[in-house]
Amino acid sequence: MFAVEVNRENYEYDIQALVKSFYPGEQVAVLLPESRADKRRELEDKVRIRLCVEAEAVELTVDGRASRWTKPPGEDFKGGLKRFLYEVLSRETGRSLPWGNLIGIRPVKIACGLLEDGCSRQEIIEHYCREHYTSVEKAELAVDIAQRERKLLADVHSRDGYSLYIGIPFCPTTCLYCSFTSYPIGGYREMVDAYLDCLTKEIEYVAKCCGNRTLDSIYIGGGTPTTLDPGQSDRLLQRLRSLFDFRSLKEFTVEAGRADSITEEKLRVLYENGVTRISVNPQTMKQETLDLIGRKATVRQVEEAYALARRVGFDNINMDLILGLPGETETDVQHTIDRVVELAPDSLTVHSLAIKRASRLNQWIQENGVSTLRNTDETMRIAAEGAKRLGLEPYYLYRQKNMSGNFENVGYAREGRFGLYNVLIMEEKQSIVACGAGSISKRVYPDGRIERSENVKDVALYIQKIDEMIERKRKLLTDF
């Protein structure tokens, strides 16, 4: 661990995120003038970087070496500060980052905005490289995805429509890397019906208050929705069909996710109730890694679940992969990609491992070292090449904090099989009403303003406070 001392607040998030990108194996703390005395005592001997922010200038000291930047007339101060910080850290570490000084989770938004302003593809690429120091490859990827997103969103009811998210917060087990709201189904089985009662009550309220709007997509996620037994799943889906007009629906996704939760009966319930898109997510096709990260399904079970979904009739199947899992090499990633190409899913979502504070992976890294997590330009290339072999195009992208290799998550799909909800949740072009424990609703106003309403994460508390959750929605969706 080392510390970064900053003399002024309001810049600490950007500074910490960028410094951590250059020092991925380190824990980085930030000291501010307002920091508690005990924190200051703990970290004062660990300060390696000092940033003194003045009115029109910045002085940066890294391991005793000082550099200074003065803001040119007319330049944005924060943008200039980030470019200066990137230049110095790049020089000090001898590293360049694929996304340059971009630390936000939605780098494609820049390209979307510039396209709306009438900029050409080449002008946007040059902007990314000049203003943010991104690689040409990443700039091209961002523009390609932005252009594809514009076409995909052209028919979405942005102003008078919405999408519905439904959370099922139960899983067979909790994976090593996971920080989502999920509870092992074995210990919560007796609470599932009560949870569905409350979830249905919340959904009924949404149907009532959103009745004058067009429903474009439904996404049931989690957790693992297929932890529900066939009867529970049918009960939920039948109620949805009775409450909402499915004639306007462009996409209905359910994350089948874990192969150890999939049966033919469950898949038939989904298919017969109008689900159009599912995910069967291996994350890797290396059995030793599956055992390590706590996914109980075998590689064979993944392949059997995928084949079963095809036999039931699904013609839009996504598979999720994670690059940078503990101990995996480029050879392992190539093996996974080759097996996935043989299966030929309709879309492929490639995640770069993100080290979440609330996950068990944090403890694992402390015991085994961060060097066991390998995500490289080569692993990303292998995944992209596999998608190309399948005839899939990149259509959405996002980034996360503490992401392995400073890379990104990319969704690839064949024409007509793009995941609409994935784009909507990233680009925030449409309101998303979310039901269930741990879910977050986002209301997008015509002027671009966004307001949120969160549900409590704990299942028991959600059941106890369901009326309060509905009241939160009422406040958010007044005059919706």
- The residue extents of the domains of the chain are 1-95, 96-154, 156-469
Closest by CA to 464, choosing from 165, 181, 197, is 197
Q: In the 3-class helix/strand/coil scheme, how is 189-239 assigned residue by residue?
A: HHHHHHHHHHHHHHHHHHHHHCCCCEEEEEEEEECCHHHCCHHHHHHHHHH
In this structure, what are the phi and psi dihedrals at residue 140, rounded to the nearest 5 degrees?
Answer: -65, -40
Q: Does domain 156-469 correspond to CATH entry 3.80.30.20? A: yes
User: What are residue 460's phi and psi, to 5 degrees?
Assistant: -60, -40
pLDDT value for 24: 79
C-alpha dist (Å) from residue 263 to 147, 201, 259, 295, 321:
38, 28, 8, 17, 21
Contact by Cβ (8 Å): 325, 283: yes
CB 165 within 8 A of CB 455: no
Please report the pLDDT score of residue 110 as a whole number: 95
The three-state secondary structure class of 250 is: coil
Across the 480 residues of the chain, what is the mean pLDDT of every consecutive 10-residue run? 92 90 86 91 93 94 96 93 96 94 92 96 97 96 96 93 96 71 80 97 97 96 94 98 95 92 97 97 93 87 96 97 91 97 98 71 62 77 97 94 78 97 93 97 95 96 98 95
Among the listed residues 307, 241, 321, the one whose alpha carbon sits nearest the alpha carbon of residue 275: 241
CATH code for the domain defined by 1-95: 3.40.50
**Spatial distance between the Cα atoms of 150 and 211, rounded to a whole number of angstroms:** 27
Question: 50, exposed or middle or buried, with CB in 10 Å at 0-12, 13-18, 19+?
Answer: middle
pLDDT at position 413, please? 98
Residue 237: name the closest of 204, 270, 267, 261 by CA: 270
Please report the pLDDT score of residue 353 as a whole number: 85
| The pLDDT value given to residue 294 | 82
Task: Check residue 232 and give its pLDDT.
Answer: 97
